[in-house]
Amino acid sequence: MVSAASMQDTIVAISSAVAPEGTVAEAILRISGPDAFEVVRAMRTDPSACRRRGVARGALVLEEGLCVEAQVYSFPGPCSYTGEDLAELHVTAPACVIERLLDRFSAHVRPARPGEFTLRAYLNGKIDLSQAEAVAEIVSGSNLCQVDAAQKLLAGRLGATVQQIRNDILDLLSLLEAGMDFPSEEIEFITTEDAVRRVQGIVERLEELLEGSIHYEALIDLPSVGLCGLPNAGKSSLLNALLGVSRSIVSDRESTTRDVLTGICELPGGRCALFDCAGLTQGEIPGDLLGSLMRQASLEALRAASLALFCVDAGKADLTADRNILQDVSSKQVLFVATKCDMLGDSQRAGRLAMLEQTFGLPFLATSAVAGMGLPSLRQVIADQVIRNMPGGEQQQDRFTINCRHRRHVEQAAAPMRDAAGQIRAGNIEIAALLLRSACESLRQVESETIDEAILERIFAKFCIGK
């Protein structure tokens, strides 16, 4: 994957989302390598209009007698994303035209492998390894928390902090080794107490980095949100309305939902796994094995959920059963939703919402799956609550983001640093120096892990083509 010969290839790929079939959208083709500008010039109807730097508009030849208009952005190396000559073609056309254009370029240059543009940026020193990982995480992020966390990696704050800690270790190491190199001199380069104090300070900073950072992998799983309530409380209709598809059977008969039904719900700033539980009953019904299993499955799903939407039919007069089952709902947080509000007039609806709030002690959000009432507000509230419950939540502004690879190397650095303090106290300076060197090497690998082909294959395999 990273042979010297392959790095000399000029590569091409579509680096934007592919437009749905039958639609017209802007697409971006990216070309990088020593022949990037020559290949683009050969495809243009007016080669003389090509620029080595900047933006030019013109036509690209798809085949004889057929051209497509494009804007060509030229970035000469090393001042480009990849560090090589790089051209981006912005074309507004149907997907079939973009594919034909890609085929034309692929006849002259090699199609890019997954992540190869970012790989070249890394190998050419444009970004470090953590920033390369952040590019993939930004592209694949499914919610704002993921994207924000990945942007922190891309900004390089982790690398700067790790580099500062590493420099402090090297400073201490130089003082210890100076003392070993000149043992007969009447110069004390650093006292034992000062050396131990410095080591302990570095250990504390490494532990803070581990304990106070957002673990990126914890943000990857979609948060789950469950609809719960009595049978026939309008949960299935609300699920279908929020998902935009008929995922659950809707019927006037009670208990038509027999299992936990799940779908992906689009929210402002992200997505969640939305599920509809079988209607809850007041305790288990003797002799009803299926009903007991349904109830158990619903409660277990709610227990694992990030948020539960407790649904109550706004037109019901007797709320005793609803109050009784609420005590069984166990979730990180509960949001109260009044359903079927389209069945009530404005004044009647206001009175019912006030009565629900008085009964349950919390306000209800008025909704109607049939009329679409309150659904945008409900999506926004769900998004706000889910983000608050995610790792880091609203307090992640000044926190670092680390992934499993970063965590492993920081832990490998912290362990010898803890041992080094004891060795310094015992007068074993040579052993302490070896431990400091080991910690320094572990931290170096956070930003520039010792490279071989297998490591790079593993890191960049999750990238999409064109990035």
Residue 409, exposed/middle/buried by CB under 10 A (0-12, 13-18, 19+)?
A: buried
What element of type H or E holds 453? Answer: helix 453-460
Identify the pLDDT of residue 217.
39
How large a percentage of the chain has pLDDT more than 90?
8
Q: Where are the alpha helices (DSSP H) in 156-288?
A: 157-181, 192-211, 235-243
Tell whether the model's pLDDT for residue 133 goes beyond 50: yes
Number of residues that this document lists for the chain: 467
For 349-408, write each residue's pLDDT tens digit: 888 999 999 888 889 999 998 888 999 999 889 888 876 655 544 444 444 556 677 778
What is the average per-residue pLDDT within 76-101?
87
pTM of this structure: 0.47
Topology of 224-389 in CATH? Answer: Rossmann fold (3.40.50)
Which of 239, 228, 249, 238 is closest to 295 using CA atoms? 228
| Spatial separation of the C-alpha atoms in residues 202 and 410, rounded to whole Å | 11
Identify the pLDDT of residue 375.
92
Tell whether the model's pLDDT for residue 432 goes beyond 60: yes
Given a contact cutoff of 8 angstroms between Cβ atoms, the answer to whether 109 and 38 are in contact is no
What is the average per-residue pLDDT within 327-338?
80
Q: What is the CATH number of domain 135-216+399-447?
A: 1.20.120.430
pLDDT-derived band at 225 (thresholds 50, 70, 90) equals: confident
Fold match flag (4-127 vs 135-216+399-447): no
Tell whether the model's pLDDT for residue 245 goes beyond 50: yes
Tell whether the model's pLDDT for residue 17 goes beyond 80: no
May I ask the CATH architecture of the domain 4-127? 2-Layer Sandwich (3.30)
Tell whether the model's pLDDT for residue 185 goes beyond 70: no
Specify the range with the lowest mean pLDDT, choosing from 75-89, 175-189, 381-395, 414-428: 381-395
- Give the start-to-end residue ranges of the domains of the chain: 4-127, 135-216+399-447, 224-389
Identify the pLDDT of residue 151.
53
Identify the pLDDT of residue 338.
92
- HSE-CB at 174 with a 13 A cutoff on CA atoms is 6
For 261-313, write each residue's pLDDT tens digit: 778 787 776 677 888 876 666 555 555 555 556 666 667 777 778 888 899 99
For residue 432, the SS3 value is helix
**Mean pLDDT score of the chain, rounded to an integer?**
76
